[in-house]
Structures are given as structure tokens and as C-alpha cells.
Amino acid sequence: MKADSVHDFASIIRGRRHELGLTQAALADRAGVSRKWVHELEGGKPTAELGLVVRTLHALGLELDVRDPTSVPGDRQSVDLDEVLRRHGADG
Amino acid sequence: MKADSVHDFASIIRGRRHELGLTQAALADRAGVSRKWVHELEGGKPTAELGLVVRTLHALGLELDVRDPTSVPGDRQSVDLDEVLRRHGADG
DNA sequence: CTCCTTTGTCACCGATCGGTGACGTGCAGT
DNA sequence: ACTGCACGTCACCGATCGGTGACAAAGGAG
């Protein structure tokens, strides 16, 4: 599940929480954060601390991955650095 | 690439930055953050803001994924909620 | 309608984030 | 030795984080 923005995190987390039948309070408890924070995260708060997000994801049984979208299996191993920089540099 | 902790982010980001031949300053510039922040992130700062992390990842041409480790392709589609909660609840 | 649960929201607060500007170190080239 | 670059680190600062405690709205059940 691609999480390109903080809003993606928001929906993923909220969805997963519902899947597991957890309340915000229950999730907050499991993740060791406050209910208010869970509420804000599910609202797409961009300033949420990385560590807390990771903990919350784990509390939901989810895992975080970092991928290189340009490394297509069977295509090639390395990347066009210029290409990458070009695409992400100015305006994508 | 699994990022289970903020330290994983640290090494992934630092490694990728080197792959691309970018300096901390250059990356900071591309991501719209300060060089100090990049330095701290690469040091494993757990309080780094999610939004900035996402921006930095994008500036490195990387993508963030959220996965359910229990959903093995070809095994089954859904999850044992109890199982998940049990594993992540007490002590994993 | 009443009770209960869940969620959205508020004010208040100490602690800390991230930016800026600067300085010292280590390394490479000349 | 001297110059230049990348990096680590520092003090300072306004802005904001996340926690706490409390209250109101929304939804279901009797």
C-alpha cells in the first residue's frame, strides 16, 4: 500500500484500525500515545513524529517499507541518478 | 526495504543519499529542510516530522509503503485479528 | 427518551522541534 | 602550508508538538 503523503497514512491507519475493530482509545493505548494524537494522525497531521507513527503502525500489525520505484525487477538493478533527480527536483 | 525503526530510516536515507552522490546540504535543499535536520534524521531522530520525512524520501526518489506482513500472497487474504493483536500487544 | 460508546474538539501547558548562523574537524588537491 | 568542501556540532529562538482533562455531537440499544 503506497503512502505518498501524510493523508495516505491517515486513511491507511484509520482503515486498518476499523479492520481490527479497535477504537481510537484502544489504539492509542496500544501505541502508547494519546487519543487526541491518534485523532490528529487520522486527520492527516503532517507534523506527527516519525517514531510515534512507526509505533502506531506496529500496534496495527503493519510494516513500513521504503522502496525505489525505479528499480523494476527484471528491468535493471541500478538507477538513472540524473533521471531520478530530474523527476523529483524541479516539479516532478 | 523494511523500515522497522527510525534507525532504519536513518541508514536507508543516508545510503540512498550517497548512492545519488548528494551532500546533506543538497538533499536538504531539495527536500526543503535544513542541513541540520538532515543530519539529525540520518542520526535516527525519532521526533522528525512525518511530513518532512516523506518529502525527504521523495527528494531521494524513494517511495513509502505500508504493508501487512501477515498477508502472504497465495496464502490467504485476510488476517487473524486476534493473532495480530496478540503479537503486537504484549511483547511481540 | 435514556444510557452508553465512540469520536470530535477545546484550553492549557511544559517540552521540544526545526531554522539560522557560525565554528571546528577531516580529507583531498595543488 | 593553503584552499575548498562535506560534515558534525553549538547557542539561540519562535512556533508548535503531544498529553491531560473535560465537554458536546453522533450513533445504536432498550
Sorted by where each begins, the domain ranges of chain B are: 1-92
C-alpha cell at A85: 533527480
**pTM (two decimals):** 0.85
Interchain proximity A4–B64, CB inside 8 Å: yes
pLDDT number for residue A69? 86
- The C-alpha atoms of residue A60 and residue A69 are separated, in whole angstroms, by 25
Dihedral over alpha carbons A35, A18, A48, B72 (to 10 degrees):
140
Round to a whole number and report the distance in Å from the CA of A91 to the C1' of D4.
Answer: 31
Which residues of chain A are within 8 Å of residue B53 when distances are taken between CB atoms? 50
**Cα Rg, chain B, nearest whole Å:** 16
More confident residue, A35 or B68: A35
Specify burial of residue A82 (Cβ count, 10 A radius: 0-12, 13-18, 19+): exposed
pLDDT number for residue A56? 97
pLDDT number for residue B24? 98
CATH no. of A1-92: 1.10.260.40
Mean predicted confidence (pLDDT) in A74-90: 50
Specify burial of residue A76 (Cβ count, 10 A radius: 0-12, 13-18, 19+): exposed
Round to a whole number and report the distance in Å from the CA of A35 to the C1' of C3.
Answer: 23
- The C-alpha atoms of residue A25 and residue A23 are separated, in whole angstroms, by 5
Each residue's pLDDT tens digit, B17-72? 999 999 999 999 999 999 999 999 999 999 999 999 999 999 999 999 999 888 76
